[in-house]
Amino acid sequence: SQTIHQWPATLVQPVGSPLSLECTVEGTSNPNLYWYRQAAGRGLQLLFYSVGIGQISSEVPQNLSASRPQDRQFILSSKKLLLSDSGFYLCAGSSAKNIQYFGAGTRLSVL
Amino acid sequence: DQQVKQNSPSLSVQEGRISILNCDYTNSMFDYFLWYKKYPAEGPTFLISISSIKDKNEDGRFTVFLNKSAKHLSLHIVPSQPGDSAVYFCAATGDSGGSNYKLTFGKGTLLTVNP
């Protein structure tokens, strides 16, 4: 089965600073890739998904962007972080249709 | 509009007893349902899934039941163990005609299994 690598595990950033979270996938090729955010006490909100290199779909308007420069690499970015960007960010991959496998997550605190 | 609902934010059961976690959905286009388990500060782990052509799927201690007419599914854990204590997410996906296989998640139910 595929493995999702995500880093860093925790990140503390000042308001207005840039952000780059990276996610890589092992064990499969041409996966669908996803970025989610889990706010405190809430479910998983899909932010972006990608069905191939350079193909990004955004689910919600926000301060973040995503890119997929390689087949198994997915990056979540921001030019200037806001306080409201704080949360737990999860990367997921799917190659077997509906089942998505998740990384360990990144806890982002914007201060 | 919340298309996947887990109306119980928390559930507490005794070790060895049955845990039943419920999930309701509103989108009749959903045709595949999944349950994930999540520990704090970790990513969700896939547990079990069911296609809409079935009404039951079993894997060890975990069984998922689907009632399409009621748009309701449930996860049964028998017997419950303290290590099962976690947040359980219900998720659903449908045939959108595309290939993105997006999942819609519920808000989760915190299960606590007491020794």
**Beta-carbon separation of A98 and B103 below 8 A:** yes
Q: Does residue B97 carry a pLDDT above 50?
A: no
Q: Does residue B38 carry a pLDDT above 70?
A: yes
Average pLDDT, chain B: 93
Structure tokens at A14: 């000042």
- CA–CA dist B40, B44 (Å, integer): 9
Query: Which domains does chain B carry?
Result: 4-110 (2.60.40.10)
For residues B43-61, give the mean pLDDT.
95
Which of B100, B107, B109, B110 has the highest number of chain A CBs within 10 A, making it the mutation to test binding with A? B100
- pLDDT reported for residue A98: 75
Edge-first strand listing for the sheet containing A19-26: A3-7, A19-26, A73-78, A65-70
Cβ of residue A51 closer than 8 Å to a chain B Cβ: yes
Q: Which of residues 56-95 of A touch B (CB under 8 A)?
A: 57, 59, 88, 90, 92, 94
**Residue range of the domain that includes A36:** 3-110
- pLDDT reported for residue B102: 84
Number of domains in chain A: 1
Which of A4, A10, A51, A98 has the highest number of chain B CBs within 10 A, making it the mutation to test binding with B? A98
Q: Does residue A16 carry a pLDDT above 90?
A: yes
CATH number of the domain encompassing residue A49: 2.60.40.10
**Beta-carbon separation of A44 and B99 below 8 A:** no
